[in-house]
Amino acid sequence: AQKITQTQPGMFVQEKEAVTLDCTYDTSDPSYGLFWYKQPSSGEMIFLIYQGSYDQQNATEGRYSLNFQKARKSANLVISASQLGDSAMYFCASHGGYQKVTFGTGTKLQVIP
């Protein structure tokens, strides 16, 4: 069984600063994918970034980067130059064998002007 742990229920960050949202995972699947999604207060779930378990380099997508440490089973999301529009819930998720999907409990990020 897969498990995703997000230990930060809430985070604050100053506008234009960088912030790291933590995610650890537990899976027995040899091949898996790790995802981050953003859920604003409006409710829609938006894909941000993906990391494959065999990828050698950390994924980056614009201001988002994923700090992947396989030995530690961590996949932290780094948001650089935070903007007010980044205020939202952030979910880490894993896809294991045959795409079995598990989401974490989420981190609520609030960007302070």
Backbone angles phi, psi at 2, to 5 degrees: -95, 155
Q: Does residue 91 touch another protein according to CB under 8 A? A: yes
Q: Does residue 112 touch another protein according to CB under 8 A? A: no
Q: Does residue 70 touch another protein according to CB under 8 A? A: no
Pick 31 or 80: Cβ nearer another protein: 31
Q: Which of 65, 86, 106, 109 binds another protein (CB under 8 A)?
A: 106
What is the C-alpha separation between 86 and 13, in angstroms, rounded?
10
What is the C-alpha separation between 33 and 28, in angstroms, rounded?
13
What does the block give as tokens for 26? 């537990």
Backbone angles phi, psi at 107, to 5 degrees: -130, 130
For another protein, the binding residues (CB under 8 A) are 4, 32-33, 35, 37, 43-47, 50, 52, 91, 93, 95, 98-106
